[in-house]
Each structure stands twice: as C-alpha cells, then as structure tokens.
Amino acid sequence: MKVKFSDIDNAFDFVSSDSSFMNEAFLSRDTGAIHFCGEFVDEEEEAVPDDIGDPERYIKIPHKNDLDLGERLVGRFVNEHLPEDAAEVAGYFERRGAYARLNDLLRRRGFLERWFEFEQSSCEAALREWCAKNDIELVKE
C-alpha cells in the first residue's frame, strides 16, 4: 500500500494530541485511507468501517508514547543539552503540566527552538521506521 508521509504524520499528530489515548486512527491495508476515531470527529462526515479493529485489514496508527517519543525523548534531549537540569525536568513528569514547565525552562535557557527541531526530527525518523516495519510504502508528496 502506498501512502503520503504527510497523511501518516497528520494521523500520528491526531492520535498523540490526547495523552489519555482518546483519539485513534487506522490505516486501511486495502486502500491506504486513514480513518479517524475520537471525541471531536464528526461521525457523519467520517464513516468508520464496522471492521476497523481487524488487524488483517487495518493498521492502528501509533501514539507518540508507543514509539518512545514522550518522556524518554525529553530525557535524551535534556541529558545531552542541559544535564544540570535533568533531575528538575524528571520531576516535571510526576504531575500534570510537565510540557508547559519544560517549555518554560527551555525558553529561559535558550533551547526551545532546538528542542522543537530535535522533537520533530526524532518523530519523523521514528514514524518512517514504523512505516518500514509495517510495509507501508511512502510516496512523494
């Protein structure tokens, strides 16, 4: 099956936008179409097939945590660029609002843009690897 990377990336962003795993997206092995399921999806506009849970026909798009792109990714970045802040940042993830506090720290230290670039490139690499493992052929945009 052939799919544009931007379609996979958009579905990944949708799934990862909710930390409570309320959003899901599935890639049809037959057509390459992506089906979205979630609280804010218009079910009349987005007709979800009855057999959406069949792994023979659909591949579930991963959440960022499935690809180790959540807290561990933050840890890798902080350990490399701000090792003196590693313990403080680890503490952020013990309660809600961790990313807001992280972004505030990175802004104050002048690393916010570098973090966004690191996160984006890490996500893209992980998604491309996931596609290869799932025999998803990415086509040029």
107 token code pair: 């802004």
The packing angle between helices 98-109 and 112-133, to 10°, is: 130
Question: What CA–CA distance (Å, rounded) separates 51 from 116?
Answer: 37
Q: Which of 16, 21, 29, 7 is nearest to 134 (CA)?
A: 29
Residue that wins the pLDDT comparison between 20 and 50: 50
Q: What is the pTM of this model?
A: 0.85
**Residue corresponding to tokens 């596609």:** 131
What is the token pair recorded at 4? 């544009």
Query: 25 pairs with which residues across the strands?
Result: 36
H helices of the chain, in order, are: 5-16, 71-81, 86-92, 98-109, 112-133
pLDDT for res 19: 72
What does the DSSP assignment read for 54-78? -TTTEEEPPPGGGGT-SHHHHHHHH
79-119 pLDDT, tens per residue?
999 999 999 999 999 999 999 999 999 999 999 999 999 99
